[in-house]
Amino acid sequence: MSPGQFPNVHQVAYASASYFEALGIPLLEGRAFPLTDPSVAPLEMIVSRALADRYWPGQPAEGKQVRLAPLGPTFTIVGVAGNVRGVSLDQAPDETIYLPLVTAPGNAVAGGVSAARFVPREVAFVVRTSGQPVQLALPAERALRALEGSVPLYRLRPMSDVVLQAAARTSFTLVLLSIASLVALILGAVGIYGVISYVVSLRTPELAVRLALGAGPGDLQRMVLAQAAVIALVGVAAGLVGAMAVTRVLSALLFGVAPDDLATLLASSAALLVVALAASWFPARRASVVNPAGVLRAE
């Protein structure tokens, strides 16, 4: 590959002047394609942020000149667009090259290159609305058929369906993981309740003596909860160590959050502590209502 030439491994998309605005893709550098005569394709391109970071890390890509083929024309990069995950949410952002869309190919020549080569075989039209997308389905179809009635139209659907389809497999996996996590949380709460209840039953004589010596029911309840909190803190600390190792395996399922995200780990740890204390509250409550006289007579 010669200097200033892209290898043939990047996705090429054809975009109109309002394509990025319609899809909500931000332009991080430069500008969009100009509203010029559609029969003439300017030798300009827009690249995605991922592609710009690959070839020009730490420097602006706007104004760079590249070729898509050894003997092809030289394009000028006029803008850098935000990243898009066009294939799947569990894959890296696409390294995309955006070329101007020509809707009326003819014999026009731009820089010695026939404009016809810039016309893709398939064109995706994007309609942006603030209302319900379904309400625009028929009007949009009529407008497109009025422009060219012989062109077949297919896969007319809202963008939300596209996103749901792209995330279907990941969403199913996350649902299964959520169910397994909920079952584990319930089993953990039941286990903590059983252990604390057993400990309280073994310490009933001690608790009765404490009450007889002047300790209040609230004191006993706080004592049991404090001991349960210590055990829960030890368990959470051990769990954090395991989570730091296991989440590396699940990093492909995480979006917008790092495997060692501090806020997420603290929030989950706090939730586990709350569940542990809630499971310990009932045994602690039972410990505070021990009848000292009855227990001591039984002893």
What pLDDT does residue 78 have?
92
What pLDDT does residue 32 have?
87
Is the pLDDT assigned to residue 41 strictly greater than 70?
Answer: no
Is the pLDDT assigned to residue 80 strictly greater than 90?
Answer: yes
pTM over 0.75: no
* pLDDT 10s digits, 134-174: 777 778 778 877 877 777 777 778 887 877 877 777 788 88
Nearest to 77 by CA among 1, 2, 6: 6
Report the Cα–Cα distance between both ends of the chain, in Å, rounded: 90
What pLDDT does residue 183 have?
92
What pLDDT does residue 100 have?
85
* pLDDT 10s digits, 93-127: 888 999 887 644 433 333 333 333 445 567 777 88
What pLDDT does residue 46 have?
92
Is the pLDDT assigned to residue 1 strictly greater than 60?
Answer: no
Total Cβ atoms within 10 A of residue 241: 10
Cα separation of 44 and 100, whole Å?
A: 7
* Domain boundaries of the chain, sorted by first residue: 11-126, 167-298
Q: pLDDT category, 240, cuts 50, 70, 90?
A: confident
| Mean pLDDT, range 29-57, rounded to an integer | 82
